[in-house]
């Protein structure tokens, strides 16, 4: 693969470190010839992400943007003038840690509002802010997870936020479609990133996933990056409002139906 995104400019939100899915997507985009702007949430990540930008490409820029701060979103739009912007990747989620461990029924109003603001509404805020820059038929993608459509232990309020995010994809696809902008989601299998660190039982989850998935292995960040590059490319010009599963087929098989077949290689 090469030059799927030749001459296109892409904005990628949500790089925290080299394990971030946003960074793997940036690597795929750089390989495919895109010009890149990547964003990080706060001062604490500034140095790391500036170094990562330099590794992506000599022209890649790193800009701070907390999506809950309208002024930071506005200065991001300023930094991207005069455009055009061809691609936006939303790779952001947050819920209070205690809401990812206690029973879902104990979710507080504040915890619920926070998770949905950061993880779901922010797609609308970002797409709205960037729409005027996407004059040449842009493409927006976001990252989701199976917990949007199935109950996954402890995913809790994040599952509700991802359900809202996936509905956002469909409504944004409908409203931005007439301008030529496509909006899609990638529902990725579990991958060890900062957002997965410290989730109780995550390693066991990865093992069970590989056991049950038709391809009998875990998903890599690179594989998510490749599908993101495809979605941004002209090859996906008729795709919008979709959620693509990048999960080795896990979501397609019923639980407890182990066929006794080949186990993943250790």
Q: From CA 158, how far away is CA 148, in angstroms rounded?
A: 8
In the complex with ligand NAD, the residue whose CB is nearer, 35 or 39, is: 39
- Is 155 a known active-site residue? yes
Q: Which of 155, 171, 245, 250 is catalytic?
A: 155
Nearest distance in Å: CB 260, ligand NAD: 28
Strands across the sheet containing 139-144: 61-64, 35-40, 9-13, 87-90, 139-144, 182-188, 243-246
Q: Which of 233, 123, 235 is nearest to 172 (CA)?
A: 123
Within 58-97, which residues bind ligand 0WE (CB under 6 A)?
Answer: 93-95, 97
Give the position of tokens 């001459």: 7
158 binds ligand 0WE (CB under 6 A): yes
Residue indicated by tokens 């579990």 = 190
Contact 53, 62 (CB under 8 A): yes
Minimum CB separation of residue 12 from ligand 0WE in Å reads 17
| Residue 166 to residue 143: CA distance in whole angstroms | 9
Question: Could you tell me whether strands 139-144 and 182-188 are parallel, antiparallel, or unpaired per DSSP bridges?
Answer: parallel
The reply to whether 245 belongs to the active site is no
Stretch that binds ligand NAD, among 16-24, 167-175, 208-216, 230-238 (CB under 6 A): 16-24
Give helix then strand counts, H and E, for the chain. 8, 7
Q: Provide the minimum distance between the beta carbon of 45 and ligand 0WE in the complex, in angstroms, as a whole number.
A: 14
Residues 6+ apart with CB under 8 A from 204: none
Shortest CB 11 distance to ligand 0WE, Å: 21
Query: Looking at 51-59, 87-95, 133-141, 248-256, which segment touches ligand NAD (CB under 6 A)?
Result: 87-95
Q: Which residue out of 40, 145, 245, 250 is catalytically annotated? A: 145
- Which residues lie below 8 Å from residue 125, measured CB to CB, with a gap of 6+? 67, 70, 73
Is 24 a binding residue for ligand 0WE by CB under 6 A? The answer is: no
The site map against ligand NAD for 37-76 (x = CB under 6 A) is ----x------------------------xxx--------
String marking each residue 174-203 x if it binds ligand NAD according to CB under 6 A: --------------x-xx-xxxx-------
Q: Which is nearer to ligand 0WE, 196 or 243 (CB)?
A: 196
Q: What is the dihedral of CA 69, 22, 107, 168, to 10 degrees?
A: 80
Contact status: 89 vs ligand NAD (CB under 6 A): no
| Helix/strand/coil percentages in the chain, nearest 5 | 45, 15, 40
Q: Which are the catalytic amino acids?
A: 145, 155
* Interacting residues with ligand 0WE (CB under 6 A): 93-95, 97, 100, 145, 152, 154-155, 158, 190, 195-196, 199
* Interacting residues with ligand NAD (CB under 6 A): 14-16, 20-22, 41, 66-68, 91-94, 118, 143-145, 188, 190-191, 193-196
């Amino acid at each position: 693969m090469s030059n799927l995104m030749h001459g296109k400019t892409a904005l990628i939100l949500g790089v925290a470190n080299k394990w971030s899915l946003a960074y793997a997507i940036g690597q795929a985009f750089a390989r495919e010839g895109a010009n890149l702007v990547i964003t990080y949430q706060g001062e604490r990540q500034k140095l790391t992400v500036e170094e990562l930008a330099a590794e992506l490409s000599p022209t890649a820029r790193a800009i701070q943007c907390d999506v809950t701060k309208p002024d930071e979103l506005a200065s991001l739009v300023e930094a991207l003038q005069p455009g055009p912007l061809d691609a936006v990747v939303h790779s952001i989620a947050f819920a209070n840690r205690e809401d990812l461990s206690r029973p879902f029924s104990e979710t507080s109003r504040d915890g619920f509002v926070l998770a949905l603001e950061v993880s779901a509404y922010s797609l609308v805020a970002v797409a709205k802010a960037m729409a005027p820059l996407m004059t040449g038929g842009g493409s927006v993608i976001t990252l989701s997870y199976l917990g949007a459509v199935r109950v996954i232990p402890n995913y809790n309020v994040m599952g509700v936020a991802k359900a809202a995010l996936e509905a956002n994809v469909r409504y944004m696809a409908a409203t931005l479609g007439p301008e030529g902008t496509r909006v899609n989601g990638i529902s990725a299998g579990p991958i060890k990133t900062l957002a997965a660190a410290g989730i109780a039982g995550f390693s066991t989850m990865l093992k069970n996933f590989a056991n049950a998935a038709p391809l009998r292995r875990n998903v890599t960040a690179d594989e998510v990056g490749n599908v993101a590059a495809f979605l941004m490319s002209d090859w996906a010009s008729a795709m919008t409002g979709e959620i693509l599963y990048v999960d080795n087929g896990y979501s397609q098989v019923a639980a407890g139906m182990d066929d006794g077949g080949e186990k993943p290689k250790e």
